[in-house]
Amino acid sequence: MSVISYKLRESAKGQACQIRLPGICNCDPSTVVLAHVGGGSGMGQKCDDIHSAYTCSACHDVIDGRSGPVMLSETTIRIFVFEGMIRTQRLFLKQNLVMVAT
């Protein structure tokens, strides 16, 4: 694992869940990890760390298919996941974990 990947993954500790699935999110920062969520490979498949989101254990279980059926459509889940990824990327920028070349 690269130093950058390690720093991104470690940055999840104590963060708020950025996916926030309604009726599912446990809002517990102690359960938050950096979960891979997309990047063209589809949810539940591994991809690079920039395509990830700070995710609580309850939301993570849903996006990885470990929680069984839920009362949200796949489209709704996908929207929340990708919006969470965008919020997480903004936090990466704010924390200087990722920089944009100018």
In angstroms, rounded to a whole number, what is the distance separating the alpha carbons of residues 5 and 23?
A: 31
In angstroms, rounded to a whole number, what is the distance separating the alpha carbons of residues 5 and 21?
A: 25
| Helix residue ranges, H only, 1-102 | 3-10, 57-63, 74-94
What secondary structure, in 3-state letters, does 72-85 show?
Answer: CCHHHHHHHHHHHH
Please say if 36 is a catalytic residue.
yes
Q: Which of 25, 36, 80, 84 is catalytic?
A: 36
Residue among 53, 102, 42, 98 nearest 80 (CA): 53
Active site residues: 36
